[in-house]
Amino acid sequence: MKRYTPMIQQYLKIKAEYEDAFLFFRLGDFYELFFEDAIKASQELEITLTARDGGVDEKIPMCGVPYHSAQGYIETLVNRGYKVAIAEQLDDPKQTKGMVRREVVQLITPGTMMEGKSIRDKVNNYISTITAFPDETFGLAFCDLSTGESKVTLITEGWTDCINELATIQTKEIVLDENFPTEFSKELKERLSVTISYENEINISDNFEAIIAPLSQNKLIQTAARLLNYLYRTQKRSLDHMQPIETYQIRQYMKMDYYSKRNLELTETIRTKGKKGSLLWLLDETKTAMGGRLLKQWIDRPLISQEKIESRLHIVEQLKENFFERQELREKLTKVYDIERLAGKVAFGNVNARDLVNLKTTLYQIPDLMDTLSNIKDEKIQQLAGTLDPCSEIADLIERSIVDHPPISIKEGNMIRDGYHEQLDMYRDASRNGKTWIAELEKAEREKTGIKSLKIGFNRVFGYYIEVTKANLHLLPKDRNYERKQTLTNAERFITPELKEKESMILEAEEKSVDLEYELFLEIRNQVKEFIPRLQTLAKKLSEIDCLQCFAEISENRKYTKPVFNKKGKLTIKEGRHPVVEKVMDVQTYVPNDCIMNKETEILLITGPNMSGKSTFMRQVALTAILAQIGCFVPAEHAELPIFDQIFTRIGAADDLISGQSTFMVEMLEARNAIRGATENSLILFDEIGRGTSTYDGMALAQAMIEYIHDKIGAKTLFSTHYHELTALEKSLKKLKNVHVSAIEKNGQVVFLHKIKEGPTDKSYGIHVAKLADMPAELIQRAETILQKFEKNGQSIKQNADEQQGEKMLEENRPFENEKDNQNEVAQLSFFDDLAMEKNTSKSKKEQKILSELKNINLLEMTPIDAMNALYQLQKKLK
């Protein structure tokens, strides 16, 4: 350190406290970075790497960015997961002898970004903390610093629930203590790709008493305190906009794990990870940023309280029926600014005059919103209108003090209205009158000298001056006191005693005016700051109104119906549709389907061709339940539903490369989550379980899962499969029912009808789907040949099995049910076993030939008479 210059020593001392961050070190009009920071930042930001003398033999790597444009560079680094420490100059270099004091005034991290292009209006920017307790419970707290919203919960059911919650809120940064289990922190980095930070302090500061006041449990207090201490330490400023922290329990809402939310594409699609094509994309008719963020929260956490659900549905119904009032609401809401985030900017001290004008515009909409809601003759809606607070004091203050179109900067003046402050008016009058005097002086000097091109100008270096071209210098009167100020190529600039006197008065008035405007603005901001709690309460109400009008708008435009609920385990969906698929495709061509389930039918075993719509049907049932439980109408002619406590899905196939898990392993993990966690009030969607392994293993696992769910859990289950042999389970499982998605084959082409019908399907049409994918014709022909051989052997085996076992070919003793009554005897699945194959070879060649002929007959291309004749000839041959 002794070898470096004092400035570099100062840099290194500050950098030692922020080793995990880029240090933006203010030097004049630039932020400079040195050493490894400079090398890495030059690569990340694609800026020039230079070097400077630091007092040692070798030059020090250095790069820098201009102060006025640093925000974009900072945002780029933070978006890539880095932290940026901002070290500002605390002294005025012009008035300081020796080294200028510098300190870090803020640490900007992915979870503490307050503004910028990466902070999307309708998306929360969460930072979280997890505390691991010795009893294997976890405290989880998270907040959005830009809005002041914060929540905390205690997770008692294991680490997996922590991962699910963090994935749900899509946290950007997680704060841990240094003793947090290494295996858990490693999983957080790998699975969630988040920035990890550390904070050990859990003592409660006086600054946080109001925030943690709702908490009584020590574990929750410790968890919240860790997060608040981290925020206070890194932001180094007021957190007055932080709202009292809310407690919640995971079981207060419909529970869906990360896989289920991904498979159902609630807020983003599986393929693109984007919003378009998701349920959120379909529903988002909100008019405010606050409403958009709340809508996402509602989708992530559907209600399980029937009273709360029906309260939302009631308001949606009233708004749906009152079209004109709803349109007025939507029009007024378009003028509502994001006052949640504005409150944060006020507290942080980075609000400007334009923000306050936007706040005023918002508050002016509130009385009209109240009147519009009051015009709807419904008690609950009128109560909702009565909860809106116009905050008229703030609106009046801003109207009196801030001009309608202020500049962005708050340090350049021209933002305070005339008449707001007497001293400011005096400065302005002096400045304006002085400029009028100068204009009159210019006119008088032209008349006296006869120089029409004479002008009085101003610049920051020389102040006011009289400019005369060199061609007219001889016209200047000898008796006038013109003092030469500056010589130009074609002109001379002069000053007079009168002009110098006025210059002093004007510049002093302008300078004092700008300084006074800044002071007045800070006073106004502090007055607004006192209203932050009221503004935040208003923001919550406006967000709720926005979401509910959004549901009403969607429900009317897309012809959704109000769902009803029952406690009898009855699920009846008439003419149900998949909401997103229906929007993407032409409504006229969408094929709706019914889904009927009750205590007697708890499992639907769905068969049908590939691409026929099995997965779409399953998803639409789940999405209908989710829509109903967030308080929205549903895409169906009629819907009566139970309230589901959980939804589990196993749909689609994808390797989890990050954790090194194969498709089949992912499938088994998702299935395990359902089987372990589901209750009789849950909904399970299993799509082609077992396809990731061999046929024997796959069918065995599929059947075992169906039986376990049937006998042990009793959850409503939609189970699709290509194992047609499983359809025989309908005979042994009394609560299972076969349904299929129908298709017809015509002229060698398959036509998908997308209609759910009772009973099992008889064919998978896999090769026809390959044709649709435009596989080579030679490949298709070979596949058909191989398929004929397989079907020939399979048919003979089935006949042999039927001779041996009759209609009970697939029935097995179910050990789960046997634990109840011990009455059934053990059997096993037998589809292609060696015994059956051996017996099949004893069949006569004649019978095989006749069966082959029967199999190759295309009944759809025959008339009824021809079909009867063909059948008669085959029967005659057998006899």
According to DSSP, the β-strands at 50-52 and 84-89 are: unpaired
Return the number of other C-beta atoms located less than 10 Å from residue 276's C-beta: 12
Asked whether residue 798 is marked as a ligand-binding residue, the answer is no
In sequence order, which ranges of 609-656 are alpha helices (DSSP H)? 614-629
CA angle at 37 for the pair 31 and 42, rounded to the nearest 5° = 75
What is the dihedral sign for C-alpha 72, 74, 75, 81?
positive
DSSP 20: T
- For residues 89 and 67, the answer to whether their CB atoms sit within 8 Å is no
39 Cβ neighbours under 8 A, 6+ residues apart: 49, 61
CA dist 832 → 713, 797, 814, 838 (Å) = 31, 7, 21, 10
Asked whether residue 459 is marked as a ligand-binding residue, the answer is no
Strands (E), 67-215: 84-89, 102-108, 126-132, 138-144, 149-155, 173-176, 195-198
381 Cβ neighbours under 8 A, 6+ residues apart: 315, 318, 319, 373
- For residues 51 and 60, the answer to whether their CB atoms sit within 8 Å is yes
202 Cβ neighbours under 8 A, 6+ residues apart: 131, 177, 222, 225, 226, 229
CA dist 688 → 141, 571, 653, 670, 784 (Å) = 38, 23, 10, 13, 23
CA angle at 587 for the pair 581 and 589, rounded to the nearest 5° = 95
CA dist 97 → 10, 92, 93, 465 (Å) = 16, 10, 8, 34
- For residues 523 and 438, the answer to whether their CB atoms sit within 8 Å is no
d(CA 843, CA 499): 123
SS (H, E, C) 424-443: HHHHHHHHHHHHHHHHHHHH
- For residues 691 and 578, the answer to whether their CB atoms sit within 8 Å is no
Asked whether residue 610 is marked as a ligand-binding residue, the answer is yes
Helix axes 379-386, 532-557, angle to 10 degrees: 150
Return the number of other C-beta atoms located less than 10 Å from residue 783's C-beta: 15
Cα 347 to chain centroid distance, Å, stands at 25
Asked whether residue 611 is marked as a ligand-binding residue, the answer is yes
Query: DSSP per residue over 499-524, as a string?
Result: HHHHHHHHHHHHHHHHHHHHHHHHHH
d(CA 662, CA 664): 5
Asked whether residue 614 is marked as a ligand-binding residue, the answer is yes
Strand order in the sheet with 463-469: 455-459, 463-469, 491-495, 483-487
Asked whether residue 615 is marked as a ligand-binding residue, the answer is yes
d(CA 226, CA 249): 20
**Strand partners for 198:** 176
**Strand partners for 564:** 640
Asked whether residue 608 is marked as a ligand-binding residue, the answer is yes
User: Residues forming the annotated binding site for ATP?
Assistant: 608-615
User: Residues forming the annotated binding site?
Assistant: 608-615
